[in-house]
Amino acid sequence: MKKALAGMRVLDLTQVLAGPYCTMCLADMGADVIKIEKYPNGDDTRALGPFINEESYVYMMVNRNKRSIRLNLKEEEGKEILYNLVRHADVFIENFRPGVAAKLGIDYDTLAKLNKELIYCSISGYGQTGPYKDKGGYDIMAQGLSGIMSFTGDKGGRPVKTGIALHDIAAGNTAVQSILTAYIHRLTGGSGQYIDLSLVDSGLAWTVWEAASYFGKGEVPTPNGTAHRLATPYQGFKTKDGYILVGAANQKLWMKFCSEVVEKEEWITDSRFCTNDDRIANISILEEEIEKILVNQSSTYWLDLLEKANIPSGPIYSYDQTLNDPHINERDMIIEYDHPKAGKVKTLGFPAKYSKTPGEISRPAPTLGEHTEEVLKELGLNLDYSRLLTKGVI
Amino acid sequence: MKKALAGMRVLDLTQVLAGPYCTMCLADMGADVIKIEKYPNGDDTRALGPFINEESYVYMMVNRNKRSIRLNLKEEEGKEILYNLVRHADVFIENFRPGVAAKLGIDYDTLAKLNKELIYCSISGYGQTGPYKDKGGYDIMAQGLSGIMSFTGDKGGRPVKTGIALHDIAAGNTAVQSILTAYIHRLTGGSGQYIDLSLVDSGLAWTVWEAASYFGKGEVPTPNGTAHRLATPYQGFKTKDGYILVGAANQKLWMKFCSEVVEKEEWITDSRFCTNDDRIANISILEEEIEKILVNQSSTYWLDLLEKANIPSGPIYSYDQTLNDPHINERDMIIEYDHPKAGKVKTLGFPAKYSKTPGEISRPAPTLGEHTEEVLKELGLNLDYSRLLTKGVI
C-alpha cells in the first residue's frame, strides 16, 4: 500500500522539539524526511539523557522514520550540497532565530530562486515580525506570554506551567497543518510559498474559550485547580491512594452522586447544596465534605461506584499508570521497535488510526549522519566523501 | 488568488470544541465547511453565553467561515438529504459516542457505499475500540487519564488541569492533520478511508519528553510549578505587581543575573549557589532569596534589567495583558469582523502566516440553518422547504 505522504520530500533543519515533532508527524505518514544536522554534533538533544548504549532517548523519541545527514553550512561546499538538496525537495523547515537563515544564505528568497515550488516553513519563538522577533523564544516564555500560565494552577495560587511543553507542541502541530495545506495548494495548481509561525501565536490560537469570555464580557480567566467554573462537583478529589475526577455536572447526576456514591441523601435537601448555584456558592465547603468521605476508600472503589451510577468519572493517573493502562495499550499507544544501537526502543504510538494508510515505524531514529552518503548518491552527486569528512563539511 | 483548500467540501456533524476547532482550521484555509446542526437547537454551544444580541460568543469563536444547515437525522427525509450531501462531499467528520452513527445510519460503512472517495473522521473521548470506548469522554477526564494532570501543578501539591481544554484541542488538531493527510493520499491516487481518533490518544501523543524519561529510565514526572527540573533559576518569580520568568539556565547567565540584575555578586561564590548542581540542591532557599528581592520592584523594572543583561526572560501575563500586548497585536492575533446579528465581533487570528494563501474571514459564524436552502439548491434538490420546515426535517 502506498503511504499517504509518499512522494513528499522534506528537508528538516530544525532541532529539539517543535520542528522535529512536526517532521515526525510527516515521516510517520510516509514523507521522506531528511534531517540535516549541524556540524559537528547534530541536534542538541543528541546530548540529552537518558541514554541507551549512548543513544539519546529524547532524540529517538521524536526522530523515528527520518534519515539523517550531517552538513556544515558554514563551509561553501556544505551549502552547495544543501542547494542541491533544495532543488529536489518539496518542503524546507527551519527553526533558527529570525535573520540567521538569511545570514547563512538559506532564507526563503534565496532558496525559492532554486526551486519556486518549495514550501518553506520557519518556526521561531515570537515570529519573523513584531517588536519581540529578536528575543530568544523558549516554550516556557511562550506559556507566560500567551497568558495560559496565568490561568493554570490552584485557585488563588501562583501560576504554574502545563506539564508538557505546550507551545513547542502547538508550533509543531501548526507547522504540520500549514505544510500539508500548502502542499495541497501546490497539488491543486498553486505554487510554493513561505510560512512564518511562532511558538507564542500557535499556543495563543488555542485559547478560544477564554477569548470568547474575554471578548464577550471582559472576563479574565484565573487558575481554578481541577474545577469547572460553572458547575460542581465537576473536578478532582483526593482518595485513599490517589485522585479521581467526578463529573456530576447536573442536578440528576448530583442526586445520584449523593444517594448512590457517597450515601449522603441529606445533602439533596441541604440548603447549602440544593441547586447548582447553591453548590457553586459553597464550593469550598462542598469540596471539603466530599473529600472527607472519598479519602477513606481507594480510587478504584469510588470509580466502580461512580460507573455503576452512570456518573461521568475517571482516574487522575500518574504517568506510569497511564502507560500501563489496558485501554491505552489496546489502542496501540505504546509501540516498540528495534534500533541498531539502542536495541528495543519503546515509543508512543500514532494517535490517528487510519483504515488504509496507518502510521508505522519504517525506520528507527537515525544515528548522526547515517544517511549522508545514501542521500547524496540519490541526488547523483559523486563526491569524495572521505575528503569532505576530513575537511569538516559532512 | 485561489484559497489553499478551495475545492474541498467538508460535512461537519460535530459540536462544542474538538470537531468545530478542526473544521474551523479547514474553513480558514478555504475548505467549504457545511456544518450540519441537529434539530431543533443546533450545536449545544449556541446556548452558552456570553451572548451578543442573542448570538453566542462561544459558538461564533470556533465556527467562522462555515455554512450552517439544520437537519433532523431522525426523520427519513432528513437522512436522505444527508445522503445526497455525502455524494458530493470529500470529508465527513462526526463526534457521536461510538455506535451512535451506526444507529443513525450514517456510519462509515453505510456512507462509503454512497461515496467511496469519502474521508470519514470520527472523534470520540476514548476511541472506537478498547475497554473504555463506551464511556462518556470529556476533556477533563482525558487530562486525568493521559497523566498530564498529575504532572501539572505546584511542587508537592495537588494535580491541576491545564487552563485550556487541552485534549479537545489536541483531538481537533490531530483531526486536521489526519484529514489533510488522507486528502493528499486521495489527490495522489489513493481512495477514501476511515479515521478513528480520540481525545485521550491525541493528548497522550504529546507527552514525548515524559515518555522518553519513563521509557529510558523509569522516571515518573511530578508537578514542579513553573520550574525546570534540571536547571535553576529557570522559572517564574513574584514581583511587586505580577510574575515574571527568568531563564538563567547556565553558569554565565547565572553570574550575569547575580551581578547585573539582583546585585548579589556574593551569590556567585556562595557555596549554596556556586554551581547549577548546588543551586538545584538548594532550590527552595534560592527561590526564596531571589523572590525577596524581586517583590520590591515591578515586572517591567526587572524585565528591562534582564533584557539589558541578555538573560532570557519574559512576563507571565494575565490574559487581558496578553490580548493588549503590542507584539500580539502586530502579529494580527486579534481580528475583527462584522456579524449580521452580533455586530463587530473580535476573534483570534491565524497562527500560521502564509505568503500566498493567508487565512481570512470570508464569512461570519452562521446563524442556525442560515444556509439550508442555499446548500440544498446547490445540490440541485428542488424541495418544498416550507413543508420540510413544518414537518421538522430542517
Distance CA B152, CA B381 (A): 53
Distance CA A308, CA A203 (A): 38
To probe the interface with B, which of A316, A339, A344, A345 has the most B CB atoms within 10 Å? A316
Distance from CA of residue B142 to its chain's centroid? 14
Closest by CA to B291, choosing from B221, B201, B227, B341, is B227
Which residues on adjacent β-strands are paired with residue B245? Answer: B236, B314
Find the residue in A nearest to B8 (Cα). Answer: A184
Residues on chain A touching B148 (C-beta within 8 angstroms): 162-164
Residues on chain A touching B209 (C-beta within 8 angstroms): 17, 58, 61, 164-165
Helical axes B166-187 vs B18-28, angle rounded to 10°: 50
pLDDT tens digits, A318-336: 999 999 999 999 999 999 9
Residues on chain B touching A21 (C-beta within 8 angstroms): 208
Distance CA A323, CA A143 (A): 26
Q: Do B234 and B228 form a contact (C-beta atoms < 8 A)?
A: yes
A positions 26-65 inside 8 Å of B (CB) = 29, 49-52, 57-58, 60-62
B positions 309-368 inside 8 Å of A (CB) = 312-323, 325-328, 330-331, 333, 345-357
How many CB atoms lie under 10 A from the CB of residue B136? 15
Checking phi first, is residue A37 left (phi over 0); if not, alpha (psi -120 to 50) or beta?
beta
Find the residue in A nearest to B136 (Cα). Answer: A312
Run of H or E including A26? helix A18-28
Using the beta-carbon criterion (under 8 Å), do B351 and A146 form an inter-chain contact?
no
Q: Do A385 and A54 form a contact (C-beta atoms < 8 A)?
A: no
Using the beta-carbon criterion (under 8 Å), do B195 and A354 form an inter-chain contact?
yes
Distance CA A332, CA A346 (A): 12
Name the one residue in this structure whose C-alpha cell is 495537588.
B158
B positions 75-114 inside 8 Å of A (CB) = 108
Residues on chain B touching A108 (C-beta within 8 angstroms): 355
The 3-state DSSP class for residue A236 equals strand
In angstroms, the separation between the Cα of residue B177 and the nearest Cα of chain A is: 6
To probe the interface with B, which of A140, A253, A302 has the most B CB atoms within 10 Å? A140
In Å, how far are A211, A334, B121 from A327, measured between CA atoms?
A: 34, 11, 21
Residues on chain A touching B195 (C-beta within 8 angstroms): 352-355
Which residue ranges of chain B lie beneath pLDDT 50? none
Domain boundaries, chain A: 9-207+328-391, 234-317
Q: Which three cell numbers stand for residue B102?
A: 451506526
Q: Do A241 and A298 form a contact (C-beta atoms < 8 A)?
A: yes
Using the beta-carbon criterion (under 8 Å), do B221 and A163 form an inter-chain contact?
yes
- The dihedral built from the CA positions of residue A319, A321, A323 and A326, taken in this order, carries a sign that is negative
Run of H or E including A19? helix A18-28
Nearest by CB to B182, from A145, A181, A354: name it.
A354
Run of H or E including A243? strand A243-247
Name the one residue in this structure whose C-alpha cell is 556556586.
B274
A168 is catalytic: yes
pLDDT tens digits, B313-372: 999 999 999 999 999 999 999 999 999 999 999 999 999 999 999 999 999 999 999 999
Active site residues of B: 168
Catalytic residue among A12, A28, A32, A168: A168
Residues on chain A touching B160 (C-beta within 8 angstroms): 152-154, 160, 223, 225-226
The average confidence (pLDDT) of chain A is: 96
What pLDDT shows up at residue B230? 84
Using the beta-carbon criterion (under 8 Å), do A323 and B211 form an inter-chain contact?
yes
Q: What is the DSSP code (8-state) at residue B366?
A: P
Q: Do B378 and B34 form a contact (C-beta atoms < 8 A)?
A: no
Q: Do B309 and B257 form a contact (C-beta atoms < 8 A)?
A: yes
Find the residue in B nearest to A202 (Cα). Answer: B351
Using the beta-carbon criterion (under 8 Å), do B154 and A163 form an inter-chain contact?
no
> B39-62 in b/e burial notation, b at 16+ Cβ within 10 A?
beebbebbebebbbeebbbbbbbb
In angstroms, the separation between the Cα of residue A9 and the nearest Cα of chain B is: 14
Name the one residue in this structure whose C-alpha cell is 479519602.
A295
Angle at B150 between CA B146 and CA B154, to 5 degrees: 145
Q: How confident is the model at residue A59 (pLDDT cuts 50, 70, 90)?
A: very high
Nearest by CB to A193, from B132, B165, B355: name it.
B355
- Sheet with B313-316, edge to edge strand ranges: B234-238, B243-247, B313-316
**CATH architecture, domain B234-317:** 2-Layer Sandwich (3.30)
Using the beta-carbon criterion (under 8 Å), do B182 and A357 form an inter-chain contact?
yes
List phi, psi (to 5°) of B249: -85, -5
Residue A1 scores a pLDDT above 80: no
Beta strands B343-348 and B334-339, pairing class: antiparallel
What pLDDT shows up at residue B381? 83
Using the beta-carbon criterion (under 8 Å), do B216 and A322 form an inter-chain contact?
no
Residue A389 scores a pLDDT above 80: yes
A positions 270-299 inside 8 Å of B (CB) = none
Contacts by A290-293 with C-beta closer than 8 Å and gap 24+?
Answer: A290/A233, A290/A237, A290/A246, A290/A262, A291/A237, A291/A238, A293/A262, A293/A264
What pLDDT shows up at residue B137? 83
Q: What is the DSSP code (8-state) at residue B226?
A: T
Q: What is the DSSP code (8-state) at residue B311?
A: -
Beta strands B67-71 and A32-38, pairing class: unpaired
Closest by CA to A29, choosing from A5, A64, A62, A11, is A5
pLDDT tens digits, A70-127: 999 999 999 999 999 999 999 999 999 999 999 999 999 999 999 999 999 999 999 9
Nearest by CB to A333, from B195, B204, B318: name it.
B204
B positions 192-221 inside 8 Å of A (CB) = 193-198, 200-202, 204-221
Does the domain formed by B9-207+328-391 have CATH 3.40.50.10540?
Answer: yes
Find the residue in A nearest to B244 (Cα). Answer: A144
Q: Which three cell numbers stand for residue A315?
A: 482516574
Q: Does ipTM surpass 0.90 in this model? A: yes
Residues on chain B touching A149 (C-beta within 8 angstroms): 163, 226, 236, 316
Residue A229 scores a pLDDT above 90: no
Q: How many CB pairs under 8 A join A and B?
A: 472
Residues on chain A touching B347 (C-beta within 8 angstroms): 211, 215
* CA-based radius of gyration for chain B: 26
Name the one residue in this structure whose C-alpha cell is 473580535.
B346
Using the beta-carbon criterion (under 8 Å), do A216 and B52 form an inter-chain contact?
yes
Q: What is the DSSP string of B373-394?
A: HHHHHHTT----HHHHHHHT--
Contacts by A254-261 with C-beta closer than 8 Å and gap 24+?
Answer: A254/A279, A256/A309, A256/A310, A256/A311, A257/A233, A257/A306, A257/A309, A257/A311, A260/A305, A260/A308, A260/A309, A261/A302, A261/A305, A261/A306, A261/A309, A261/A311
Using the beta-carbon criterion (under 8 Å), do A194 and B225 form an inter-chain contact?
no
Strands (E), B14-159: 32-38, 51-52, 55-56, 67-71, 91-94, 119-124
To probe the interface with A, which of B185, B228, B350 has the most A CB atoms within 10 Å? B185
The H helix count followed by the E strand count for chain B is 18, 14
Residue A62 scores a pLDDT above 80: yes
Q: Which three cell numbers stand for residue B330?
A: 502586530
